[in-house]
Amino acid sequence: MRESESSSATRGTIERTYRERGRGFLAWARRHAPDPETAEDILQDAFIRALANADALAPVQDLAAWIFSAMRNRLIDLFRGEGAKRRAGATEVPAEVLEAVAEETGLDPQDQLQRSEMLTALQVAIAALPLEQRQVIRAQALGGIGFRQLADATGVSIDTLMARKRYAIRKLAAALEYWMDD
C-alpha cells in the first residue's frame, strides 16, 4: 500500500473510531475535566492530532488506545500549568492531609517532587468531583468542619453529607490510583 493510500485508510479508521467511540471518550473526559467545554476540547484535540499524524499512526494496532492516551496526556498537560489550576478551582490542601495521603499510597512524604505532583493530581481530582461532593470534601475533610455543623449550615442531612463524602473519597482514591499507575 502506498503512503497516501495508507494515510487515507488510517484517516478512515480515525473517523470510524470517532463515530463509534466518541461518546465514550467524551464521557470519560467529562468525568475528569473541570468543565464540559474542556472535556470537548480534549476530545477534539486528540482526534485532530490523530488526523494530523495519520501517516505515523498507520502501524498502530489499537487506535482507540492511542486516542485515549492522547486525551489523558492532554488532560495532564492542561492541569500542570498554573492557569489551569486556577480554572479548575484549585484547592489548598493542608500539608498534614497531603502527608497522610502520601503515606497511605506508599509514597515517601519527604519527596518534594512526588508531593507536588500528587498535590496537582489531588487538586484536579477534587475539581472534577460533582459540586455537592466537592463542597463536602472542601468543608469537612479539608476545612475540618464537623458533619453536624455542616448539616446545620446547609440544611442537608448528616446521612446525605456522609454519603457524599464517601462517594467523593472513592472517586479521589480512584483518581490517585490512576495517577500512581501513570
pLDDT in tens, 143-173: 788 888 888 888 999 999 999 988 888 888 8
Question: How far is Cα 124 from Cα 84, in angstroms, rounded to an integer?
Answer: 9
Three-class SS state of 71: helix
pLDDT at 103 over 80: no
3-80 sits in which CATH class? Answer: mainly alpha
Question: How far is Cα 159 from Cα 177, in angstroms, rounded to an integer?
Answer: 27
Listed by start position, the domains of the chain span 3-80, 95-181
CATH numeric code, 95-181: 1.10.10.10
Question: How far is Cα 25 from Cα 57, in angstroms, rounded to an integer?
Answer: 19
CA torsion 25-26-27-31 (nearest 10°) is: 100
Alpha helices in the chain (DSSP H): 3-32, 36-52, 54-57, 63-80, 82-87, 95-104, 112-128, 131-136, 147-154, 158-181
Where is pLDDT greater, at 19 or 123?
19
Mean pLDDT over 28-49 rounds to 86
| 33 band by pLDDT with thresholds 50, 70 and 90 | confident
Q: 95-181: same fold as 3-80?
A: no
What is the pTM for the complete model shown? 0.43
Three-class SS state of 91: coil
Over pLDDT 70: what percentage of the chain?
73
